[in-house]
Amino acid sequence: MPEGHTIHRLAQDCLHRFGGSTVRAASPQGRFTESAALLDGRVMSAADAHGKHLFLGFDGAGWVHVHLGLYGTFRFGTGPAPEPVGAVRLRLTGGTDGLHHADLRGPTACELVTPGEKQAIHDRLGPDPLRSDADPGRAWARISRSRTAIATLLMDQKVVAGVGNVYRAEVLFRHGMDPYRPGRDLTRTAWDALWADLTELMHEGVRNNRIDTVRPEHTPGAMGREPRVDDHGGEVYVYRRARQACHLCGGEIRTAALAARNLFWCPGCQPGHGG
């Protein structure tokens, strides 16, 4: 489930469960053993997220940089930690009441980094709608002079950090925007509206720990249809709804590969040369 909202939620949850207290760290899988030993018994004092990157700060040891990739999972539990099942890269136990545990499985990245290395990661990421220090103008500077399709730009973490395949499809639908429109054909007003919407949607994603993008007036009750809830979480307009009827115009949702990812859009509601 890892788009940016998942990672920010993980940062919150880690801080809530372990922040300010001594944590035991282990790597049952064995691939992070040395670093886990350096963390073991230290205080987790900070958790930070930028886009899809998670950073856990341990006093005197630096930061653990985690990227879940496509498959990674971070699961929490209370009470005694069960026997590790499968490949647990990092297990944290203890925490604020001594009874928490968290298992990290299958991440693309799990490494101990210095503050300088952490900063280098921030420096190569674009503004993150979920961060208060984000400057959408930085993204606009790139978008406004790019011939690349807006749907591709939204997925480029150097342009905007944290947007994934669900949010890009949904936010473009919500603005009736052709996903193939070149970045430089957007107006500043249109970009500001996209950014504001992403900010709102993603904050809601952090709160609910899932992605919902359907406006209240288009919810199942209002539209006379069954709610759609599947593994990505919530109710959406177009994501993974290829060949189904658009909730708004009834037209057929289309899908196509774009930059090695599946793009979804409604040609009726998002007219342009992609239709």
Partner DNA sequence: GCGTGATGTTGAA
Partner DNA sequence: TCAACCTCACGCC
Q: What residues line the site for DNA (CB under 7 A)?
A: 1-3, 6, 51-52, 67, 69-73, 75, 86-87, 105-106, 108, 155, 157, 163-166, 211, 230-233, 240, 260-262
Min dist. Cβ of residue 138 to DNA (A)? 17
Min dist. Cβ of residue 169 to DNA (A)? 9
**C-alpha torsion sign, points 168, 171, 176, 181:** negative
Taking the CA of residue 157 as centre, how many other CA atoms within 13 Å lie in the half-sphere pointing to its CB? Answer: 13
- Closest to DNA by CB, 141 vs 259, is 259
Query: Rounded to whole angstroms, how far apart are CA atoms 176 and 135?
Result: 24
Element (H, E) at 173: helix 165-174
- Closest to DNA by CB, 67 vs 142, is 67
- Closest to DNA by CB, 51 vs 62, is 51
Tokens at 142, concatenated:
């790139």
The contacts of residue 26 (CB under 8 Å, 6+ apart) are 33, 36, 40, 90, 91, 93
Residue 58: strand, helix, or coil:
strand
Min dist. Cβ of residue 106 to DNA (A)? 3
- Kindly list the catalytic residues: 2-3, 52, 261
Query: Rounded to whole angstroms, how far apart are CA atoms 216 and 115?
Result: 43
Min dist. Cβ of residue 22 to DNA (A)? 26
- Closest to DNA by CB, 29 vs 93, is 29
